[in-house]
Amino acid sequence: MIKVVSFKICPFVQRITALLEAKHIPYEIEYISLRDKPNWFLEISPHGQVPVLITESGQPLFESDAIAEYIEDAYAPLQKSVSAEQRAINRAWSYLASKNYLVQCSVQRSSDLATLKERANKLAKAFAAIEGVLGDSRYFNSQSIGMVDIAWLPLLHRAAIIEKHRCYDFLADYPKLKNWQQNLLSTGLAERSVSDDFESRFTEFYLSEETFLGKGSDVCSSQADQACITASCC
């Protein structure tokens, strides 16, 4: 059986587990501490990062983009008859998501409003870009879930958790993205691709007393703050 080496709140891992879930591919998962990485992990992960996926034949794979492409190539494709051109387009929009995972993490960890605004601007560029190409279909330019949906799921899931716990919506300026987020979340893939305690682990880290978002009363104090954080006024 496939094995995924994981860290509970890692978005790169969630992209991989979401893809496995979407394709109904059985897998086991092993969580490790990134502060105290086991030797066996360092031997199979050249850069010491999760996710690592160990294939059914025992081959360790690293780098989430490569792992996602392996899962798509080695198992029945998520969407049938995707042309080479469309596959390249899908990969490009997927890379835009994965390049912004750490950006979103840094936004969420910002300790003050000025830092949060500066970092959120970068994330907003990616959101604005995809807003511009989303159509009226349920998922990314399709009525069925595809690779781009899976790549964007961690970003949209995390934005939803922040919105639920704080009156702060990273997607407020992007109606199509918001709609896409709701459609994706309604599949249940977000929950199925993380551990049962994901939300509490996530909020403990990103909505702690150390983060601006965690100091809820400051963020929620006025609608003006909310608008200013998300909009181009920043």
Ligand X SMILES: N[C@@H](CCC(=O)N[C@@H](CS)C(=O)NCC(=O)O)C(=O)O
Tally of CB atoms within 10 A around 166: 20
Active site residues: 10
User: How far apart are the C-alpha atoms of 9 and 194, rounded to whole Å?
Assistant: 8
Q: How many chain residues touch ligand X (CB under 6 A)?
A: 12
* Binding residue for ligand X, selected from 4, 5, 10, 153, defined by CB under 6 A: 10
Q: Which helix (H) or strand (E) holds 161?
A: helix 147-165
Question: What's the closest the beta carbon of residue 20 comes to ligand X, in angstroms?
Answer: 15
User: How far apart are the C-alpha atoms of 138 and 151, rounded to whole Å?
Assistant: 16
Per-residue binder mask for ligand X (CB under 6 A), 94-133, x = binder? ----x-----------------------------------
**Site membership for ligand X, residue 7 (CB under 6 A):** yes
Q: Give phi and psi for 28, each to the nearest 5.
A: -110, 160
Per CB under 6 A, which of residues 145..184 are in contact with ligand X? none
Question: What's the closest the beta carbon of residue 67 comes to ligand X, in angstroms?
Answer: 7
Per-residue binder mask for ligand X (CB under 6 A), 23-62, x = binder? -----------x-------------xxxx-----------
Q: Which CB atom, from 50 or from 124, has the smaller least distance to ligand X?
A: 50
Please spell the DSSP secondary structure of 31-80, one letter per residue.
E--SSS--HHHHHH-TTS-S-EEE-TTS-EEESHHHHHHHHHHHS--SSS
How do beta strands 27-31 and 52-54 pair? Answer: unpaired
| 7-15, 82-90, 163-171, 221-229 -> range binding ligand X (CB under 6 A) | 7-15
Per-residue binder mask for ligand X (CB under 6 A), 196-225, x = binder? ------------------------------
Q: Which CB atom, from 105 or from 167, has the smaller least distance to ligand X?
A: 105
User: What are the distances in angstroms from CA 86 to CA 5, 22, 30?
Assistant: 30, 20, 34
Residue 78 neighbours by CB under 8 Å, 6+ apart: 19, 22, 23, 72, 144, 145, 146, 147, 150
Question: What's the closest the beta carbon of residue 231 comes to ligand X, in angstroms?
Answer: 29
Structure tokens at 168: 């702060």
Q: Which CB atom, from 35 or from 80, has the smaller least distance to ligand X?
A: 35
Question: What's the closest the beta carbon of residue 33 comes to ligand X, in angstroms?
Answer: 10
List residues binding ligand X (CB under 6 A). Answer: 7, 10, 12, 34, 48-51, 63-65, 98
